[in-house]
């Protein structure tokens, strides 16, 4: 199979919320509405390099769980997102040996393989080129997270249409357009 078999983390209200997550969420959710926006998310998350994630990254992250399409997520969705991001950051750090905040093409390939993807070398080159149009052939931690969110969302959309897990789907125009637009910023 060309993609991993994991689905989104649990957003079940029975899920145990860690005290750290609870505290972060409460700090950010100033009006106590119980839901946070991409802008609030940005202020809550460190990117592991002493900075914050880009607006694009934050909007894509909110979009992973924002089922009502109102641009917000609740505490349980935040917990699931937090788990995702930390897992991705762990993978990234594992390949960023000099802690420079960026990884090379070979390392991106190894990182995605570790995450369960089986992608061609041409495709990895395309990913690097798309993420870093300046031609340095490296990918930063922020670009990596954006890529992980996008790949995760498109993979989930593909998987639910790939009933027999063949890695090939048949899809109509409107459905295709909906998936594509739904997972884009």
What token pair was written down for 8?
A: 């989104």
Residue (of 163, 9, 183) closest to 80 by Cα position: 9
What token pair was written down for 169?
A: 């789907």
4 and 117 in contact (C-beta within 8 Å)?
A: yes
Is residue 67 part of the contact set for a copy of itself (CB under 8 A)? no
How far is residue 27 CA from its own chain's centroid?
A: 23
Specify the residue, 95 or 158, whose C-beta has the smaller distance to a copy of itself: 158
* Among the listed residues 95, 123, 137, 156, the single contact to a copy of itself using CB under 8 A: 123
Residue (of 82, 84, 85, 105) closest to 95 by Cα position: 105
For residue 140, the minimal CB distance to a copy of itself (Å) is: 16
* Among the listed residues 120, 121, 136, 160, the single contact to a copy of itself using CB under 8 A: 120
What token pair was written down for 129?
A: 């080129």
Segment near a copy of itself (CB under 8 A); pick from 21-29, 69-77, 85-93, 101-109: 69-77
Specify the residue, 145 or 183, whose C-beta has the smaller distance to a copy of itself: 183
* Among the listed residues 12, 69, 98, 164, the single contact to a copy of itself using CB under 8 A: 69
* Among the listed residues 23, 70, 86, 114, the single contact to a copy of itself using CB under 8 A: 70
Segment near a copy of itself (CB under 8 A); pick from 25-33, 42-50, 67-75, 76-84: 67-75
DSSP state of 73: E
Is residue 36 part of the contact set for a copy of itself (CB under 8 A)? no
Residue (of 113, 68, 80, 88) closest to 7 by Cα position: 80
- 40: helix, coil or strand? helix
- 140: helix, coil or strand? strand
- Residues of this chain that bind a copy of itself (CB under 8 A): 2-3, 56, 69-71, 119-120, 123, 126-127, 129-130, 133, 135, 150-151, 154-155, 158, 162, 167-174, 176-185
């Amino acid at each position: 199979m060309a993609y991993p078999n994991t689905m989104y983390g649990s957003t079940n209200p029975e899920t145990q919320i860690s005290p750290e997550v609870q505290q972060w969420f409460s700090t950010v959710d100033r009006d106590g509405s119980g839901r946070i926006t991409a802008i609030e998310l940005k202020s809550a998350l460190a990117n592991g390099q002493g900075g914050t994630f880009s607006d694009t990254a934050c909007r894509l992250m909110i979009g992973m769980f924002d089922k009502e399409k109102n641009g917000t997520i609740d505490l349980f969705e935040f917990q699931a997102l937090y788990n995702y991001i930390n897992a991705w950051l762990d993978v990234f750090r594992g390949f960023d040996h000099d802690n420079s905040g960026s990884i090379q093409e070979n390392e991106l390939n190894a990182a995605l393989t570790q995450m369960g993807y089986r992608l061609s070398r041409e495709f990895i080159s395309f990913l690097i080129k798309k993420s870093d149009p300046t031609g340095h052939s490296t990918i930063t931690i922020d670009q990596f997270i954006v890529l992980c969110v996008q790949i995760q969302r498109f993979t989930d959309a593909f998987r639910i249409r790939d009933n027999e897990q063949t890695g090939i789907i048949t899809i109509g125009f409107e459905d295709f357009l909906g998936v594509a637009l739904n997972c884009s910023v």
